[in-house]
Amino acid sequence: MTSHSSSIEKKIAAGERLNADDGLWLLQEAPLVWLGALSMEIRYRKNPDQAISFVIDSNPNYTNICDTDCHFCAFFRRPQDNDSYTLSLEQVMEKIDRASKLGVTTVLLQGGHNRELPLDYYTALVRETKKRFPHITPHFFTASEIQTMAQVSGTSVAAVLASLKEAGQTTLPGGGAEILAERVRKKIAPKKGGPEAWLEVHREAHRQGFMSTATMMYGHVETPEDVVEHWNHIRDLQDDSLALKNGGGFTAFIPWSFKPDHTVLQRRFPRRVGSAPYLRMLAASRLYLDNFPHIQASWFSEGKKTGQAALLYGADDFGGTLFEENVHAEAGFVNVTTLPETITLIHEAGFDAVQRTTRYDFIKNYPRTMTPDEVRAQATPGVSFRKNQPVGAVKIELRDAPVSSPV
């Protein structure tokens, strides 16, 4: 045991917050097995049950037209491209209807920055989703999309969020954060704005009572110092949001690795980051982000076996089913599963599986004592909600065969 590991253990035991030097040591020098063990101590402190949560969700897109030219993105198209598209309200509703029939309780709807779309288009998507599918949470639009809505409509971020809330939206996805460091964002997404562009949206969303997630896409131009800066930004914002005591704040942190295929950055970073750096990032995040209740593992972005291993490196949630996903697919990365397989993956890792909603209300429990036949027989949508039942859970976002569509 080193002096630094001993110092961090003492801080953790005393409930003392880690500092930037601690964060750098975790990312660069901490023994991986030691890091995993300590992260699980914190995981069980926050979520004591031997259970991992997951959500049945879908991730469709309403447009791939975008003018932001992010160097890490293989999804965006120009308006004149033959394969560019923007879906009508009814086309989006058709996608959500198909997802609903699969038992989806959350739809993560995102798209490019299409400046031809008025604010009414977005509020109508929320309103119609709530009207036609009241059991589905519209977990719509990233921070950069919200910023685009404000610019196009000539109004403020606060006004846009208020309009979406009036239409029925109460949660916000954390995509578009990438790395919240000015240096990095200027290199990989210069038109997207600095860290404050993302932070402003989530700060205001929390002020209005929204729950949201925070993400990180690593494995490109960032340094360990940039990662720690990212952590500090979201940890500080969470402190401020929780102090409001209005129900707003971050529910989970979700890191994933950069997928280079078909992107501008591929020339400089042609290889995907492996499993060991991912497990280190996950476990270190659990220790550093002491005010985040959940850390999400991603079987989808990192692979099923790595997703299972992540459940032993501080994660308490397995993500979602992702019945439709297109952004990673455009980068040549496709990973699919079924609801029974998702549950089985959690069981194989030694945990009960618990279906949840976007807001971490728990719906249905699948004990690890179930046989595979029992899992297949019972892996159907639950109906009775138990509000905020304390279950230690890893957010699990599964995935079935992708919906056949142009998106």
pLDDT per residue as tens digits for the range 251-292: 999 999 887 656 555 566 556 678 999 999 999 999 999 999
Residue 264 tokens read as 């501008």
The stretches of 247-385 forming alpha helices (DSSP H) are 275-288, 299-302, 304-310, 327-330, 339-348, 372-378
Dihedral of CA atoms 48, 348, 295, 112 in degrees, nearest 10, equals: -150
Among residues of the chain, what percentage have pLDDT more than 70? 84
Rounded distance, CA 299 to CA 325, Å? 14
Give the tens place of pLDDT for each residue, 144-203: 999 999 999 999 999 999 999 999 999 999 998 999 999 998 888 777 778 999 999 999
The CATH number assigned to the domain with range 21-397 reads 3.20.20.70
8 torsion bin: left (phi>0), alpha (psi -120 to 50), beta (else): alpha
Distance CA 347, CA 339 (A): 13
Check if the beta carbon of residue 277 is closer than 8 Å to that of residue 219: yes
Confidence (pTM): 0.88
Structure tokens at 152: 């196009």
Q: Look at residues 75, 158, 162, 71 and name the one whose alpha carbon lies nearest to residue 113.
A: 75
340-397 confidence digits (pLDDT tens):
889 999 999 999 999 999 999 999 999 999 998 899 888 855 433 333 333 333 232 3
Report yes or no: 55 and 358 within 8 Å, Cβ to Cβ: yes
